[in-house]
């Protein structure tokens, strides 16, 4: 879909459709009132007859509204004006796009971007409109032999209204940011939704190469022999249970000065997590194809950073392999030596994410990073703690934590901080090695982060547990593309662009 920004009166738009909001109790929004006045009370009359009540989610398509230059006017119910917040705004834009997809109009001017949303400004509304519109049209049909339910005349061009000319430059920047984030989210969603037999470590590496070629990033893919040479004994111990060879993907966006320290993003790339010898129960095990969502988010964020030409250096590191049971797989009780030299007693082979991440985090040291953020579908406990709304955040630096909290807030892709106190480290004690790879049931999300913290002492580091936010289960099962928006806002903030 194409987007453009425009300021101007709704009744004067020569487009296939103009979209305006109506609040509950038949209260017209400001743009709707302008059309109403121009048309001699045409909209009020329709509301009076009871054809549209302004309830959230309701829509009404009108043709040939008098004294307007557009073919159609779409009324979108916004619900109660006092309760119009972020979610209601996004729902309204989604309802508009879905309705427009069903009409003959392939081009529309959206005036919902002019509605006030508490504590949010015009650029925020523009960025979110782009994201929601792209999301509404997202389909994953690569694996279907026949396309079903495709709209015949989908919306192709969306004009986003801003209330005055002075807001055009900011609006355009916000739309560009929205488009880059949407492209990154689409990449992340496609990779997450692909099944484990297609999206293998080799496939992820190929995607890394393609991404680099398309956007002028630097790429390097380390093979098993290279990984062995580096001494990544922990990562390799997980990989050796599977016949698919592991890969270690290194991507670099060099938008900053030669001497600028890079931000390093590390993504967990388990392309399927069966649990290994500590096998998971069968129910919903298919969902463990999403266990590479951290890796997908890193690829998505790097894509967006490149599209926006962010003036900073970003490194993406992706350790990727499968976690399967076999005659060569890790066994409970096995002890492995990580790249850092620290030894790990593997008490549960299903706590494999931390085993591959710890070596990637040690590898990150060589970049002398400004900061490192790892992104991982790491613990089921995080889903219990925060559900599917917030990602878990833990950090060894408060400033970095605050930056990520703020980025999540502005991106509307929120995370919530959990403590990373040393007191929790007790739970990782092992009788036989430097540490165990599990810390028991209490505070499972925190002890997983505590494990990683033992490998990140040399730099500022934060960990995002996205087990609950990277995908949805149930009827609308699928990858969400989170936390690409959060990461892009974090990077943009570091680059001094936008408002973080
Ligand atoms: N990939 C899983 C985490 C996960 C579980 C994500 C459920 C989403 C939904 C991870 O590798 C894992 O299996 N973690 C274990 C750790 C435990 C053995 C300490 C878990 O959370 O059960
Ligand atoms: Mn696991
Ligand atoms: Zn896992």
Nearest ligand to the CA of 451 is 1
The finding on whether 269 has its CB within 6 A of some atom of ligand 1 is: no
Instruction: Give residue-wise pLDDT tens across range 193-212.
Output: 999 999 999 999 999 999 99
Given a cut of 90, whether residue 148 has pLDDT beyond it is no
Nearest to 18 by CA among 134, 135, 100: 100
d(CA 58, CA 92): 9
d(CA 51, CA 40): 18
Nearest to 375 by CA among 467, 488, 240, 272: 467
Given a cut of 70, whether residue 167 has pLDDT beyond it is yes
β-bridge partners, 278? none
β-bridge partners, 202? none
Ligand 1, atom 16: nearest CA belongs to which residue? 351
The finding on whether 350 has its CB within 6 A of some atom of ligand 1 is: yes
Q: Report the separation in Å between the CA atom of 402 and the middle of ligand 3, taken as the mean of its atom positions.
A: 27
Q: Report the separation in Å between the CA atom of 448 and the middle of ligand 1, taken as the mean of its atom positions.
A: 10
Nearest ligand to the CA of 441 is 1
d(CA 30, CA 48): 18
Cβ atoms of 302 and 312 within 8 Å: the answer is no
pLDDT of residue 500: 44
Tell me the whole-structure pTM to 2 decimals.
0.98
The finding on whether 352 has its CB within 6 A of some atom of ligand 1 is: yes
Nearest ligand to the CA of 438 is 1
pLDDT of residue 498: 58
Ligand 1 atom with the smallest distance to the CA of 447 is 19
The finding on whether 296 has its CB within 6 A of some atom of ligand 1 is: no
Given a cut of 80, whether residue 405 has pLDDT beyond it is yes
**What average pLDDT does this structure show over 78-95?**
98
Q: Are strands 461-465 and 391-395 parallel, antiparallel or unpaired?
A: antiparallel
Instruction: Give residue-wise pLDDT tens across range 211-221.
Output: 999 999 999 99
Q: Are strands 478-479 and 471-472 parallel, antiparallel or unpaired?
A: antiparallel
Ligand 1, atom 9: nearest CA belongs to which residue? 380
**What average pLDDT does this structure show over 387-399?**
98
Given a cut of 80, whether residue 499 has pLDDT beyond it is no
**What average pLDDT does this structure show over 275-283?**
98
The rounded percent of the chain whose pLDDT value lies above 70 is 99
The finding on whether 322 has its CB within 6 A of some atom of ligand 1 is: no
d(CA 314, CA 498): 18
Ligand 1 atom with the smallest distance to the CA of 444 is 19
**What average pLDDT does this structure show over 337-363?**
99
β-bridge partners, 314? 253, 263
At residue 12 the predicted structure's pLDDT band, cuts being 50, 70 and 90, is very high
Instruction: Give residue-wise pLDDT tens across range 289-328.
Output: 999 999 999 999 999 999 999 999 999 999 999 999 999 9
Q: Report the separation in Å between the CA atom of 377 and the middle of ligand 2, taken as the mean of its atom positions.
A: 9
CA 85 to chain centre: 21
**Two tokens, residue 347:** 């008490």
* Greatest extent of the chain over all pairs of C-alpha atoms, in Å: 83
- Return the DSSP state at 218: E
Q: How many CB atoms are located within 10 Å of the residue 119 CB? A: 9
Ligand 1 atom with the smallest distance to the CA of 291 is 1
Report, as residue numbers or ranges, the catalytic residues: 280, 354
The finding on whether 379 has its CB within 6 A of some atom of ligand 1 is: yes
Tell me the average pLDDT of the chain: 97
**What average pLDDT does this structure show over 130-134?**
98
The rounded percent of the chain whose pLDDT value lies above 90 is 97
**What average pLDDT does this structure show over 111-122?**
98
Ligand 1 atom with the smallest distance to the CA of 448 is 19
d(CA 234, CA 208): 23
């Amino acid at each position: 879909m194409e987007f453009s920004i425009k300021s101007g009166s709704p009744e004067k738009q020569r487009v296939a459709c103009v979209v305006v909001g109506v609040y509950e109790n038949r209260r017209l929004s400001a743009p709707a009132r302008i059309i109403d006045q121009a048309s001699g009370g045409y909209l009020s009359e329709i509301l009076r007859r009871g054809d549209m009540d302004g309830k959230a989610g309701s829509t009404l398509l009108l043709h040939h509204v008098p004294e307007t230059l557009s073919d159609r006017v779409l009324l979108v119910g916004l619900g109660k004006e006092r309760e119009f917040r972020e979610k209601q705004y996004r729902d309204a834009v989604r309802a508009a796009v879905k309705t427009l997809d069903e009409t003959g109009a392939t081009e529309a001017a959206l005036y919902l971007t002019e509605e006030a949303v508490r504590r949010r400004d015009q650029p925020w509304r523009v960025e979110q409109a782009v994201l929601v519109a792209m999301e509404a049209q997202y389909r994953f049909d690569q694996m279907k032999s026949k396309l079903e339910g495709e709209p015949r005349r989908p919306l192709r061009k969306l004009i986003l209204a801003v209330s005055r000319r002075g807001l055009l430059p900011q609006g355009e920047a916000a739309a560009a940011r929205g488009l880059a984030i949407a492209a990154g989210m689409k990449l992340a969603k496609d990779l997450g939704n692909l099944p484990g037999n297609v999206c293998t470590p080799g496939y992820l590496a190929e995607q890394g190469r393609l991404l680099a070629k398309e956007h002028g990033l630097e790429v390097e893919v380390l093979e098993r022999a290279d990984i062995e040479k580096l001494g990544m004994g922990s990562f390799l111990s997980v990989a050796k249970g599977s016949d698919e060879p592991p890969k270690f993907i290194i991507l670099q966006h060099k938008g900053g000065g030669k001497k600028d320290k890079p931000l390093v993003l590390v993504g967990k790339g388990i392309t399927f997590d069966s649990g290994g010898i500590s096998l998971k129960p069968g129910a919903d095990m298919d969902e463990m194809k999403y266990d590479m969502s951290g890796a997908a988010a890193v690829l998505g964020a790097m894509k967006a950073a490149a599209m926006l030409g962010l003036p900073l250096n970003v490194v993406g590191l992706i350790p990727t392999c499968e976690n399967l049971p076999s005659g060569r797989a890790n066994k409970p009780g096995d002890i492995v030596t990580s790249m850092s030299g620290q030894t790990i007693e593997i008490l549960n082979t299903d706590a494999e994410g931390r085993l591959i991440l710890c070596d990637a985090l040690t590898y990150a040291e060589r970049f002398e990073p400004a900061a490192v953020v790892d992104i991982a579908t790491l613990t089921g406990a995080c889903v219990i703690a925060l559900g599917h709304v917030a990602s878990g955040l833990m950090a060894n630096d408060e400033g970095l934590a605050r930056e990520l909290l703020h980025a999540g807030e502005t991106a509307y892709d929120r995370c919530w901080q959990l403590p990373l106190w040393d007191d929790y480290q007790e739970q990782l004690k092992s009788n036989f090695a430097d540490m165990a790879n599990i810390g028991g049931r209490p505070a499972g999300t925190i002890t997983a982060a505590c494990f990683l913290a033992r490998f990140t002492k040399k730099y500022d580091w934060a960990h995002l547990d996205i087990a609950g936010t990277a995908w949805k289960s149930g009827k609308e099962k699928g990858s969400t593309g989170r936390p690409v928006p959060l990461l892009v806002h974090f990077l943009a903030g570091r680059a001094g662009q936008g408002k973080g």
